[in-house]
Chain A
């Protein structure tokens, strides 16, 4: 009897043993600082440090300032644009890769992952060499007399978008490629023999069946865009400030942690709300409100 009950106890403990280390790290490294930031955000900042004796909503009312509002809207605009461009490009690329031989598939996947293997600061500097006024792109375009005045491709939102799209492309491509590879080819054949043209096979079979993976990828992509730092810093500059640069300034230059806390919370709520709404909307559009088990 004791033997049986100890087995039962082990069964109950085992999952915690496995997930425990990560839970501890997440608890101390993420949840606790987040709660701390939340707590900080309700106290005023003074030259002597955070005054924990007083409670205030002042840090949140400061965020309504048009200066901060503009930064938040710009961050959302850039992130949304990058995710939208990625969404359009991801399916053609994934469908192309899935039809190659396994060897060619791994080569292409490696090629699309490679931007992520480069240090983001180095990558951002690399982009400046390409995009600056006398950079590679402008020089080539002028050589072929396609432009007379150099295009302004950086120190603006365009530069940030250009660099972020390939940088975060794999977050959509990888789950999508995995989902498409996992699909039974007979599903496409069944649809084809039943009279569906290739485009209809995509819209009526491939897209609905890979949509969860696609949306998961878009969500990660969007979050990565919202939190990008090095690329907006180098390609956007201080005139194109985004939320992560603002957070850096507030927390590490001004050392105003209460305001930083309110900013962090506002960003978190904003991102989660958009991700949730986007997921709902996309699922609703494709399944027409009905969901399979």
Chain B
């Protein structure tokens, strides 16, 4: 266990920005704090970094308690959203900054800074000042500056949100690859689901200062712990369930009042009131003939929206509206007003608790 957070709480005035958060990050793991703005993820990261004092709880790094250690003695490094490069220092001196705070000889500093700049492919830019570097290059300098001190923990605060879309995709993979190669324990904060999914080993989804779910990307996408997580990590179709009954080894219920649906075998939440069935758009199939799925209903096509490789097809089953994601080739044959079948296999749905 590399990073351990136990019951961490931080309040600003009356609001608890971080409210009793506990989690642990393994050595070498890439861990993401995911959530909408204002959910407390950045505050949590700053508590770990030692920027804010902690109210209650503990932070442990490689077994040592750093809850009240001043930030300059935590041996971690942080990459900030706006990079926070020192504008009065060139790239070389920016990277050397952390080394000059430690007792390291001049020749050793020279060597390590050069290696770090080479690692982010910026050897040729050592003399440039931050204002003379592009956003992507500044990002790399910030990364080199963090890595060169060989921290026990690397923290990223929305590091890619200031880059344009293409560069962001490149940097995602580059940072991920670099992190794996060095094997450094990393915590990233983001509100971007794609960023969290492509980069992290595991993630914690946060809501109103609390961690609501921890898991791998596929676990969180396929089995969201609640309605908030389900909607946050992707588009959903939600069907309110009633009259759950057991038929042999399977269970059945009424969805949206009058639709008899087979339920998935997993039973999380089914014991509670206000149970909902969550269907991802890509779990739905739409066909002019049979869909070949366990649940199948007659429906009318309302609209088809071309999204590139995939198309979104909105259909209506009685009063219920469903959104399906289909390959564009299949969706091209569908016309608004057309009578079709829509369906899904029972185990592609997820049952979650209500509010």
Contact = CB atoms under 8 A, between A and B. Distances in A.
Interface stretch (A155-163, A196-204, A215-223, A267-275): A196-204
A187 interface: yes
A189 B80 contact: yes
Interface string B60-93: 0000000000111111111011101111111000
B111 interface: no
A122 B80 CA distance: 52
A192 to B, nearest CB: 4
B101 A187 contact: no
A200 B101 CA distance: 8
A208 B88 contact: yes
Contact of B88 (A184, A198, A292): A292
A192 B86 CA distance: 12
A130 B244 CA distance: 89
A195 to B, nearest CB: 4
A193 B129 contact: no
B132 interface: yes
A213 interface: no
A187 B86 contact: yes
Interface in A237-293: 287, 290, 292-293
Interface residues of A, number: 22
Contacts, number: 80
Contact of A196 (B75, B77, B97): B97
Contacts of B84: 184, 186-187, 189-190
Contacts of A197: 72, 101
B209 interface: no
Given A193-B49, A194-B98, A195-B101, A209 B88 contact: yes
Contacts of A184: 82, 84
B181 interface: no
A137 interface: no
Contact of B71 (A192, A204, A205, A208): A192
B131 interface: yes
Interface in B77-121: 77-78, 80-82, 84-90, 97-98, 100-102
A204 B100 CA distance: 10
B50 interface: yes
A194 B97 contact: yes
B131 A292 contact: yes
A293 B97 contact: no
A208 B75 CA distance: 25
Contacts of A187: 84, 86
Interface in A14-36: none
Nearest to B78: A193
A205 B85 CA distance: 10
A185 to B, nearest CB: 9
A84 interface: no
Report the 4 A-B pairs with minimum CB-CB distance, sorted nearest first. A194-B98, A195-B101, A186-B84, A190-B84
